[in-house]
Amino acid sequence: MMQPEATLPEVYVQPGESRLVKEPTMMRTLLGSCVGIAFRAPRLGVGALCHPMLPRLPTTPGTSPARSAGRRYVDYAIRDLAMQFDALGASRNEVEVKLFGGGDVLVMTSSATRPTVGAANIEVAMKVLAKEGFSIAASSLGGKRGVNIYFNTETGEVLLQRHS
């Protein structure tokens, strides 16, 4: 198996976190039903990875979540990173986006008629990315197993390691 680049600084993105880096970095995370979304603006040398756990931020009239709490949700995490790239002067069409995860890794005890968390995360991610003007350059979605992803922000390569 190919190994991730060992010479780059490494950042592990925990569930519910988003990280943006301005220097070449190996970003990694472990996904199950969560999605991992890698963003890269080559012209600016900037990359980001988010690891939201649930599809949509619950809305309560008159309140706004703390940024760290909002990043647990797919819709919020995407919009938050979009604003960060906007602030750096990146246009949406120059930002490379890659989407991973959303697996059905939890055992279902009943025949549920509604989508699984993984399927809902995928659906929301695709809709919000499109609405925000991003195109998905690559993806590996769904399945029954978790995955490790290693994202090289310098090259844009993502190494995917499936769990057995």
Select the more confidently predicted residue: 109 or 35: 35
- Helix, strand and coil in the chain, % to nearest 5: 20, 30, 50
Domains of the chain (ranges; CATH) run: 10-56+68-162 (3.30.1330.200)
Task: Say what the pTM is.
Answer: 0.91
Q: Give residue-wise pLDDT tens across range 37-96.
A: 999 999 999 999 999 999 999 987 777 778 888 999 999 999 999 999 999 999 999 999
1 pLDDT band (50/70/90 cuts)?
very low
Q: How much of the chain, in percent, has pLDDT values that exceed 70?
A: 93
- Mean pLDDT, rounded, of the chain: 92
Question: Which pLDDT value is given to residue 109?
Answer: 63
CB 125 within 8 A of CB 99: yes
Q: What is the DSSP secondary structure assignment for residue 73, as one 8-state letter? A: B
* Separation between Cα atoms, residue 163 and residue 144, nearest integer Å: 9
CB 149 within 8 A of CB 158: yes
